Structures are given as C-alpha cells and as structure tokens.
C-alpha cells in the first residue's frame, strides 16, 4: 500500500507534527523524523490493512484519492495485492535486497545514524531527468525502510521524502508504504 501527500511540508500523525521537513533541514533531523514515522506506521499496520480490507481484496490494484473536509486532496492511495509463485523465504530475502533501491546510485549516501540498526536501510540519492524541452531537473530523495519479522509474516515499511531542486524547488512529496509478505496456505507461493 502506498500513500503520497502532495506538497506536504509537515506531517501530522498520531505522534504530533514533524516540522523538520523543510528545505535546509539537516540530514540527521530528516532521517530521525523518517525513522520515527516508520515506527509509527508499523504500530498501526494491522489497522491500515483492515481499513483497506486487504484480506478480502481480490488480486489486483486499487487507486483512490482521499480528500480532507475542505475538499482538497489529502492523499493518494495505491493498494496492490498480488501473489508470487516463489517460496516465502526466497521472496522476502530477495525483496529485502531490493528494498534499499540499490539501482539509485547518483549522489547516493547511506545515513550513518542507521548503522547498527537491524533490518534498517536509510539512504539519500538524487534522481535526474531531462524534460521534453531539454531542461534538466532533479529531485533529492531520502528513503528509510525497516523490516519487521513476525511469526507468519514479514513487513517492509518505508518512507520516502522527496525535495525538488532547481526549477522544481518548493516541490515536496511525502510517501508512506507498507508491504506484507506471508506464505500462501498451500505453501506454494508468497
């Protein structure tokens, strides 16, 4: 499940508002806030799955726009339920290798404050593209992923905070995502 908030500068959650999310905040402050958010998301993961009715959702994708009381977009939600024909152990191990976006190498830096934290990835990297006009644009992304291992299921919970640079300066995106891995009842897939 993925939720993205457009142009969010602060994140209000059950733990209060994080006002750290602004251009110029230190990496330490940003990563600390993202790690705290990931922990808070995991604490309510069962409620989130119930709200989406994941156990009864058919295989497939559902996208929705959620609006606040004033009618403005609060967040976008992407819910995807699928089965993979791979053994549970193989699936969650290979998924963890990909969770840190190893293919994102431009200006990649690992957050040293996460060193030693089990089942945690914290990195920042830059995405660059060339628009149809020929203008080059870039976005700086900070990613925090935690893996939570339970008896019969494994969760990846991640936060991505994106900041536009150059002509995209002032654009911000805050993404929260969850992924649940569990073996199928027949043990054939995940």
Q: Per-residue pLDDT tens for 109-142?
A: 988 777 677 899 999 999 999 999 999 999 999 9
Per-residue pLDDT band at 13 (split at 50, 70, 90): very low
The C-alpha atoms of residue 158 and residue 156 are separated, in whole angstroms, by: 7
Task: Give domain status of residue 65, yes or no.
Answer: yes
Burial 158-178 (b: 16+ CB within 10 A, else e): bbbbbbbeeeeeeebbbbbbb
Query: What does the mean pLDDT of the chain come to?
Result: 84
Q: What is the pLDDT of residue 143?
A: 94
CA triple 152-155-157, angle to 5 deg: 170
Per-residue pLDDT band at 175 (split at 50, 70, 90): very high
Task: Give domain status of residue 105, yes or no.
Answer: yes
Residue owning tokens 């994941």: 54
Task: Give domain status of residue 190, yes or no.
Answer: no
Average pLDDT over residues 129-156: 94
Alpha helices in 53-142, H assignment, sequence order:
88-99
pTM for this model (two decimals): 0.79
Average pLDDT over residues 154-160: 94
Residue owning tokens 């993205």: 4
CB atoms within 10 A of CB 150: 9
The C-alpha atoms of residue 108 and residue 100 are separated, in whole angstroms, by: 11
Q: What is the pLDDT of residues 56-96, one digit of tens each?
A: 889 999 899 999 999 999 889 898 988 888 888 888 888 88
Task: Give domain status of residue 21, yes or no.
Answer: yes
Please give the residue range of the domain that contains residue 151: 2-181
Task: Give domain status of residue 32, yes or no.
Answer: yes
Burial 110-133 (b: 16+ CB within 10 A, else e): ebeebeeeeebbbbbbeeeeeeee
Task: Give domain status of residue 186, yes or no.
Answer: no
Q: What is the pLDDT of residues 18-45, one digit of tens each?
A: 444 454 568 888 898 999 999 999 999 9
Q: What is the pLDDT of residue 24?
A: 54
Task: Give domain status of residue 155, yes or no.
Answer: yes
The C-alpha atoms of residue 145 and residue 119 are separated, in whole angstroms, by: 8
Task: Give domain status of residue 187, yes or no.
Answer: no
CA nearest neighbour of 177 among 161, 157, 162, 149: 157
Number of domains in the chain: 1
């Amino acid at each position: 499940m993925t939720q993205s908030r457009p142009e969010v500068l602060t994140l209000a959650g059950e733990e209060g508002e994080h006002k750290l999310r602004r251009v110029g905040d230190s990496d330490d402050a940003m990563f600390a806030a993202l790690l705290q958010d990931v922990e808070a998301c995991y604490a309510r993961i069962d409620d989130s799955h119930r709200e989406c009715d994941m156990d009864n959702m058919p295989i497939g994708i559902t996208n929705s726009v959620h609006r606040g009381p004033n009618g403005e977009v609060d967040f976008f939600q992407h819910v995807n339920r699928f089965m993979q024909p791979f053994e549970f152990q193989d699936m969650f191990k290979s998924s963890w290798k990909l969770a840190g976006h190893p293919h994102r190498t431009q200006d990649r830096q690992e957050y040293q404050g996460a060193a030693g934290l089990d089942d945690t990835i914290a990195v920042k990297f830059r995405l660059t593209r060339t628009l149809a006009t020929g203008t080059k644009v870039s976005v700086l992304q900070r990613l925090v992923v935690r893996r939570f291992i339970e008896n019969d299921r494994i969760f990846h919970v991640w936060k991505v905070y994106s900041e536009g640079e150059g002509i995209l300066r002032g654009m911000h995106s805050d993404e929260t995502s969850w992924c649940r891995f569990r073996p199928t009842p027949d043990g054939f897939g995940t």
